[in-house]
Structure 1
Amino acid sequence: MNDHEPRTNEDIERLAGELHERVRALNHLTQDSPGLSEPAAAYTVLGNLAQTSFRLAQTAEQIDAFLTRELDAGRLGHDRSGDPTPAVTVAHNALGWAAEQAADLGDTFRRAASALAPIHALGVGAEQPVAQEVAENPGDREAAQVESAKKDFPSSIGDVLPNPCTTDPVPPELRPPPQVPHPRRER
């Protein structure tokens, strides 16, 4: 379907139905052998999952906007009562929460993909990096990590971060519990 074709409710419903089938197929393909065989493929899949998550957030916002327009125009009814406002408000709050979670999920996938950016597969018989060879001896592991970090990050932390934060982080047991998000609007 392109942007110039007419869009019907049936088209929209069909696309939503196809989405979960595509994710199911992706799960099947990545589950076992042969599955993924290159870190670059995992990087690409994670990037695509990030974009999909961000787009799902947009979809939730657009459905919410549709419901709000229809409610404000008086074009919605309720099967069991005369007033659709309470049900639409519940859907509105749930869609707001879904949009936030989808955006957070997209950001998490994006961070995972970014972490994989420098990762590559080693071919059979390829040389292992020096840090891996030295790490076999536990006494040399820390020195190997420091040497490896020096190659990638030649400046000291003190040179890069001018004033480190001196406050102690609050231990998890002393933190207040997470708060339920407030509704974005009330009707």
Structure 2
Amino acid sequence: MTDETKAHPTARNDEDTTRLATNLYEHVRQLNHATVGPPSLTLPATAYTILGNLSAATYGLDQVLHQISRFLLRELQADRLGHDQAEDLAEVLSRHGQALAEARQHARALCAALSNAQSAINTIHSRATRVREALPTIEVKAHVDDAGVAAAANDFPRPITDPTLLAPPPIGEQNHSIRSRRASTLEA
């Protein structure tokens, strides 16, 4: 059974419920970092899946907001609420209810917009990229300093850690190239 198919534990108390909301925020933050680009976002299918899951999540937010509003109204009716500054609780919860009704409307609109965005890219797929050829206007010389330039031009982009780009010059030539640069600088 994979992590996606495991049943998630239900919240047993307010602390667990708070943890779920905190985890939601953390997951969104991590998703923001993951969708910046490669290596974690390279396929249109991934974008399609993300949009579908975001749409489903915002659909669920409507229910959460409704249930929070209902909870506070029940608590008011049972006379289990107070206010730190002695404001009229009915007035405060009325403003709260209006704000949540607006938020629920936005959540439903966001759900629909995300669903439309997902549907719009339903038929998009990746293609293999063409290998770019090096420009003929640059004269290629076999210098130690240019060790990885030709390879990078042919296969760009390559990771900076690619050993062919970071190949050090032979040890005997390292000191020679430093001396020759100094000598040419003095002559100039």
Task: Give the TM-score range, shorter chain.
Answer: 0.5 to 0.7
Is the Cα contact below 8 Å between 1:46 and 1:110 reproduced in 2? yes
Decide which of 1, 6, 9 is 1:2's aligned counterpart.
9
Is the Cα contact below 8 Å between 1:77 and 1:83 reproduced in 2? no
Q: Distance in 2 between matches of 1:61 and 1:43?
A: 28
Q: Distance in 2 between matches of 1:99 and 1:90?
A: 14
1:61 maps to 66
SS of alignment partner, residue 65 of structure 2: helix
Decide which of 128, 144, 151 is 1:123's aligned counterpart.
128
Is the Cα contact below 8 Å between 1:50 and 1:107 reproduced in 2? yes
1:35 maps to 40
Equivalenced residue count is 123
Q: Distance in 2 between matches of 1:26 and 1:83?
A: 41
> Relative CO higher for 1 or 2, CA cutoff 8 Å, sep ≥ 6?
1
1:102 maps to 107
Q: TM-score w.r.t. structure 2 length? A: 0.62
Sequence identity, in percent?
A: 41
Is the Cα contact below 8 Å between 1:50 and 1:109 reproduced in 2? yes
Q: Distance in 2 between matches of 1:41 and 1:32?
A: 11
1:103-130: CA deviation from partner (whole Å, max 9, x where unpaired): 11111110000111111111235xxxxx
SS of alignment partner, residue 31 of structure 1: coil
Q: Which runs of 4 or more aligned residues in structure 1 lie more than 3 Å from their structure 2 counterparts after TM superposition?
A: none
1:74 maps to 79
Which structure has the greater CA radius of gyration?
2
Match for 1:85: what amino acid? A
Shift of 1:82: 5.7
Unpaired segments ≥5 residues, structure 1: 126-187
In angstroms, what is the RMSD of aligned CA positions? 1.5
Query: Is it true that 1:91 corresponds to 2:130 in the alignment?
Result: no
1:39-96: CA deviation from partner (whole Å, max 9, x where unpaired): 1110000000000111111110110010111112222111111631111111111111
Unpaired segments ≥5 residues, structure 2: 1-7, 131-188
Match for 1:114: what amino acid? S
SS of alignment partner, residue 17 of structure 1: helix
SS of alignment partner, residue 65 of structure 1: helix
1:124-139 alignment to 2 at 5 Å?
124=129
1:51 maps to 56
